[in-house]
Amino acid sequence: MSQDWVRRFIAANLPVLPVPGIPDICLHKADPQSGLRHLAEQDSQFGSPYWAHYWGGGLVLARYLLDRPESVAGRRVLDLGAGSGIVGIAAAKAGAAKVYAADVDPYAIAAIELNAALNDVTIDTVLADLTKSEPPEVDVICVGDLFYEAALAESVIAFLDRCLAREIMILIGDPWRTHLPTSRLRLLAEYTVPDFGEITAKTRPAGVFALG
């Protein structure tokens, strides 16, 4: 299935809505009428459409960057496991010199490109699992909600440790999920945000952390 077709489907079926608590950002957001099942019916590789929903870690990290633009202003920023691209969009709006958004899902990449255009920012998308790569040439890596599974959390932490060795700053947004490495984190801020997560949408506290 072509990326052009996917972009047209998202644009036609996922309404544009302001993000809860972050009215400066709008995203294509799934609703009960979006018909995402049609994507699954036409593509056997279609996975969980996490890119079409709000996740607490991404919301809290995006809000933090807009509240404290000095954390990314003038810096090269990577949004790792970017999903909808909300964190990268916030980084761009906060004045980042360059923003990259990486995800393993081509549907997420299509959503990021559409959402970036909606918000009048420039983001370079990367379709790849960067956790298997060497540290990128960036100053800050933002990680929103990548600690919901043990194996994923392990690979993410191993990658982030390699990045820390290159003196790259790591910012993490997460609603205190089970595999969050809390003993290694310094809490920078906490907000109450909507969260899709593992079950149904609800409001819960989420933190922004520095990894050290």
What is the distance between the alpha carbons of residues 120 and 118, in angstroms, rounded to a whole number? 6
Q: Which of 139, 123, 40 is closest to 85 using CA atoms?
A: 123
144, β-bridge pairs: 173
pLDDT at residue 198 in the model: 42
Amino acid (1-letter code) at residue 119: N
Percent with pLDDT over 70 in the chain: 96
Are the beta carbons of 208 and 172 closer than 8 angstroms? yes
> pTM, whole model, 2 decimals?
0.94
Taking only the tens place, the pLDDT of each residue in 16-51 is 999 988 999 999 998 878 888 777 777 777 778 899
Domains of the chain: 3-211 (3.40.50.150)
Percent with pLDDT over 90 in the chain: 77
Amino acid (1-letter code) at residue 81: G
Q: pLDDT tier at 201 (50, 70, 90 boundaries)?
A: low
What is the distance between the alpha carbons of residues 117 and 95, in angstroms, rounded to a whole number? 16
Taking only the tens place, the pLDDT of each residue in 61-113 is 999 999 999 999 999 999 999 999 999 999 999 999 999 999 999 999 999 99
pLDDT at residue 177 tops 50: yes
Tokens linked to 90: 């916030």
pLDDT at residue 199 in the model: 43
